[in-house]
A and B are shown apart, each in its own frame.
Chain A
């Protein structure tokens, strides 16, 4: 097990390196520069000086190796858009916000999605099952940015229950709309997987044995069936984290949450090369770590799985 984890961790290094290189190449192959000319152009002299000061006029291979060297020393470079904060500082300020939001959304997804799926499985082919299906299919089919816009229209403008945007920490009412918007997609996916997986398990012999022994029906589902039914669900939960992150990109932007997803989008449209590379690396690392945790968790859920 330890060897397995160690080997997986070691594999992350070349993976990150490949992500870094590909992103660097794609970013620099995309036309445009980081300087803001949306309203009216900057003068050539100013642009020439900025390119010189930020070494953007160096040959690309030199830029690549200089930047790689800096990154290896933990320096992600300056942000071109905001002179007052470096990329590392922006990530340090925004990542915790996104992590809190992501964890809360994932918890919401699990707390809502798994019981909903289980209920649909136990009551399958009844109106409860059909209602749950309708809700979950709608949830899967609606992108997060549509959900957040709908929630703002209904909860903020229509019912005036919540503010239209902003962030004052995870325990403030302003966190409710983003959590609902980000979490409801994964919740729907988890509900679908829980339902189908539980239905499959409920048809197996050992469940009939449990019923025959006289175990109460609720206990059969909770104690005997759920444990096995959850293995595919855990896999999906890991994968949905990707869903949580990409959903958060737009939700953060629309609801004005100062998270890293918003920085990612703005760095793409603003050609803030260093910030874009920094955020891509963070996301890559995050996804790799979550995948590893998912793999490790199988061992605890299913004793048949061994790590070599």
Chain B
């Protein structure tokens, strides 16, 4: 519930409904729109951002909101002792990384309120995606006096949880419910419902459909077998809604360990993976069919770059790589996944079968408990492996959030150990390029290299299913982050 600390998991929807940053992402077009800032200017070198706040901005308790509130919030989120789960958001700001890693100070972080309505930020180096970070929850303003008064407990009640967004907190009963009402001090319009109540369930997917069918909820979350059940139900099938989530689920390959260090082997495995069948048959259309490594919609991603599915070509490549019909394939290539996740298990088993029937190879399935898997995965940075399953979803719709953050050899977020100098070079240039079209072109070239080199095999793109009562309009999940914005919702009842 603390914008400065949240990693964007549970609680983000409530944070986004109660707070607002200098700018926000339009939940239909995906464009950056002015929020608390009326306008901003960017210096020609792309380094200095000057934000002009709207006049008469107020917190939900009526107190004036000043540029210094942003300075406080940004420095607080970066301060390592705040224990933010998302501190790196603001690291492009000059001095922020040093401060965040204990080598610098708050004063050294170039985010300053020069007067009550002006907030000036200087970056370490140009970052064409910076406005997306400005719109992130980590960059929301928070109330210094409340945090100093109540410390970590400021989020617990309406007296201290003072916000600046469309709604304000009425009551939070931990693990039970949260109620918000319209914030009368919000600068803009709010034609959403007057009050919103979230029933807080620790296992939403299991419990919300039950409560929904009993008429206790207007919206429920659907996953797995419930999706099929709802689709086959006469009444519920009309209330099922499928939304795109800009994310990819992958099989990640260790590109430095044999036999996966062989490019032809990786390409063969990718070509032998029937993604259409994985989603439509194995997972009963609970996701979207895989298109390419990066999720559709991210600038740079091009479906033409993907290898696709071609079993004949896959066989041929495997033969060329020295494993005709799987002969000579090593016995102990492991595929690691979280055994408790039904869909991961189903994918692993299906892929094992596909590769066996198409390429004649045997792989060993290696299911793990969720937390054991996290630890095993973290240690892959320096250790070899075969395959494992994991995924990524956009925090913001910019190539930086995928290519540079995940696939650049310096980042290697998923430890595929894949390195390509040309690819890295394109990405480095992408960070410096301020012309959107040219920048997109650089990433499209990089995307081609990434897909051809096949360090990842996409099994599906993420989706989100809801049950929504027919009298609710405008309840919508945007493809990025996709939390429900109550001010867009209309209740016809």
Contacts and interface: CB of A to CB of B under 8 A. Distances in A.
B382 interface: no
A143 interface: no
Contacts of B85: 35-36, 42, 46, 50
A248 to B, nearest CB: 15
Interface string A38-53: 1111111111011011
Contacts of B40: none
Interface in A155-170: 156-157, 160, 163-167
B376 A84 contact: no
Interface stretch (B52-60, B149-157, B182-190): B149-157
B211 A164 contact: yes
Interface string B180-212: 000000000000000000010111000100110
A157 B215 CA distance: 10
A25 B258 CA distance: 38
Interface string B463-490: 0000000000000000000000000000
Contact of B152 (A36, A83, A156, A253): A83
A40 B391 contact: yes
A59 interface: no
Interface string A96-121: 00000000000000000000000000
Contacts of A146: none
A269 interface: yes
A85 interface: yes
Interface stretch (A26-34, A195-203, A238-246): A26-34
B210 A256 contact: no
> Which has the most chain B C-beta neighbours within 10 Å: A35, A36, A46?
A46
B372 A45 contact: no
Contacts of A4: none
B179 interface: no
A41 B413 contact: yes
A258 B390 contact: no
Given A36-B7, A157-B214, A271-B371, A46 B87 contact: yes
B63 interface: no
Contacts of A254: 207
Contact of A84 (B1, B173, B199, B413): B1
Nearest to A153: B210
A156 B80 contact: no
Nearest to A166: B176
Contact of A253 (B86, B174, B203, B371): B203
B216 A164 contact: yes
B207 to A, nearest CB: 6
The main secondary structure of chain A at its interface with chain B is loop
B136 interface: no
Interface residues of B, number: 50
Contacts of A38: 9, 370
A181 to B, nearest CB: 15
Interface residues of A, number: 44
A295 interface: no
A30 B2 contact: no
A240 to B, nearest CB: 27
A37 interface: yes
Contacts of B214: 156-157, 160, 163-164
Contacts of A53: 80-81, 83
A148 to B, nearest CB: 12
A52 to B, nearest CB: 7
A166 B200 CA distance: 10
A43 B414 CA distance: 10
B101 interface: yes
Contacts of B152: 83-84
Nearest to A35: B85
A233 interface: no
B374 interface: yes
Given A84-B2, A164-B216, A42 B7 contact: yes
A82 interface: yes
A36 B370 CA distance: 10
A262 interface: yes
A46 B175 contact: no
A40 B392 contact: yes
B412 to A, nearest CB: 11
Given A36-B7, A45-B88, A46-B88, 9 more contacts: A40-B393, A49-B101, A50-B85, A53-B81, A84-B152, A93-B174, A157-B210, A157-B214, A256-B175
Interface of B: 1-2, 5, 7, 9, 80-81, 83-88, 100-101, 152-156, 173-176, 199, 201-203, 207, 210-211, 213-214, 216, 369-372, 374-378, 381, 390-393, 413-414
Q: Which 8 A-B pairs have CB atoms at the shortest separation, nearest pair first?
A: A32-B371, A31-B372, A31-B375, A258-B175, A164-B214, A164-B211, A164-B210, A53-B83
24 contacts: A30-B371, A31-B371, A32-B370, A33-B374, A36-B7, A36-B85, A38-B370, A40-B393, A41-B390, A44-B378, A45-B101, A53-B80, A82-B174, A84-B154, A84-B156, A164-B211, A165-B210, A166-B199, A167-B176, A256-B176, A258-B173, A258-B174, A258-B175, A262-B202
